Amino acid sequence: MLVRLTFGSLLSAATLLLAGPAGAQTLNVATAGDQNMVDYVKDYLGPMFEKTHPGVKVVAVGTGPGDAGSQKIYEKLSAQKQAGAAAWDFDVVVAHQKMAGQMVKEGLLDKYRAGIPTGALVTRDTAENALGADVGGFVMPMFHSQTAIAYNADMVKTPPASYSELVEWVKKNPKQFGYNGIKGGMSGVAFVTGWIYAFGGNTDRLMKGPYDETSKAAWDKALADLKDFNRNAVITPGNAGTLDMLNRGEIAMGPVWVDMFYSWQAEGKLPPSMKLKLVAPGMPGQPMYYAIPAKAPQTKLAAEFIALATSPAVQAEGIVKRFNWYPGIDAQHLQGKLEQATWQKLFADITPEDLSSKGKPFPIAPYFNDILEGYEKKVAN
């Protein structure tokens, strides 16, 4: 039995959609994110799952992009828990890191991962820790978006392999490196975060906590060095601005989102000479998670749906080929599932080993805020 609660027009509309066809067993999937996330479930995963589960109808509903979309899912589950509902509306939810951690803390999610066959294929830290919250066992990464340094191989024959080497390269090649600061898009924020990971010390604590307000005092030299670094760097207008300047040859190197980079390259907006490098000690990326609510009406079906969605074949075809995202499971399991050309495109510059060792999460929220505040006060002023 579905419980109906009203939380604004968007969720009211969503709830109406959750009534499946008469006589059919309905699997309700709520996803945060842009419309492409809804379309992915509705047009790709849903029909595939229904084919192997006759009599089941998958219904997908979107709750909106960004953390606000995940917040809507959280509010719905939280309200149903407080109302004492025996069964909640959603069978599967797709959420961002911040709210996934909150939902685990409040007992809103089922600890299901060990019971599905693909659960053992996950290796990245983000499957265990979401911005400081322990989510191990409660989530399966759907995909990872990742930042990296893009460079023009015609202009840079030997790209820096680390932040330290990048510093030396920029000194020798002033105004050939560009990034968008912290206000023009998240690739710039990711670059600055990676800088603190490289030079600020105590990196593991920044990613996993616990929070210690005095930690930021150790970043003074790192931030002063970044201010000096910026004298020889170019501040670009945004994520797309960095790619535009790379394309025009105005800079030779800059941090970008990997999926955006490959999408631009596929559209002919970047030449084949553009390459990627994930520099040590690493740069951040972000996953989205599949999760099952603690009182999902159909837990077994939900687990089977997520197992299908995180299988190597679906991760290869649905996540890598369609979106240029990195898989939620360890990329080594996609070997043989992708045409060589696709594998070469996505893993030639950044290998699965690079992703496993240098694909970092963003720091826990209070450290994240401290980094942005420190940049504003000590770098951008």
Task: Give pLDDT tens digits for 292-323.
Answer: 999 999 999 999 999 999 999 999 999 998 88
Q: Does position 74 have pLDDT exceeding 70, yes or no?
A: yes
Q: pLDDT category, 23, cuts 50, 70, 90? A: low
Q: Which residue has the tokens 């070469």?
A: 344
Q: What is the mean pLDDT of residues 181-192?
A: 88
The beta-carbon contacts of 331-340 under 8 Å, at least 24 apart in sequence, are: 331/355, 331/356, 333/121, 337/312, 337/313
At 323 the pLDDT is 84
Residue 245 CB: number of other CB atoms within 10 A? 18
Q: Does position 63 have pLDDT exceeding 80, yes or no?
A: yes
- Amino acid found at 239: N
Q: Who's near 138: CB < 8 A, 6+ residues apart?
A: 100, 104, 109, 110, 111, 112, 113, 291
Q: What is the mean pLDDT of residues 10-39?
A: 68
How many helices (H) and strands (E) would you count in the chain?
Answer: 17, 13
Please, are residues 273 and 265 in contact by the beta-carbon 8 Å criterion?
no
Please, are residues 94 and 58 in contact by the beta-carbon 8 Å criterion?
no
Q: What is the mean pLDDT of residues 7-21?
A: 45
When comparing pLDDT for 254 and 342, which is higher? 254
The pair of structure tokens assigned to 88 is 């909640």
Give the span between the Cα atoms of 328 and 110, in whole angstroms.
Answer: 19
Cα 380 to Cα 44, 208, 238, 250: the distances in Å are 45, 27, 16, 22
Q: What is the mean pLDDT of residues 187-209?
A: 93
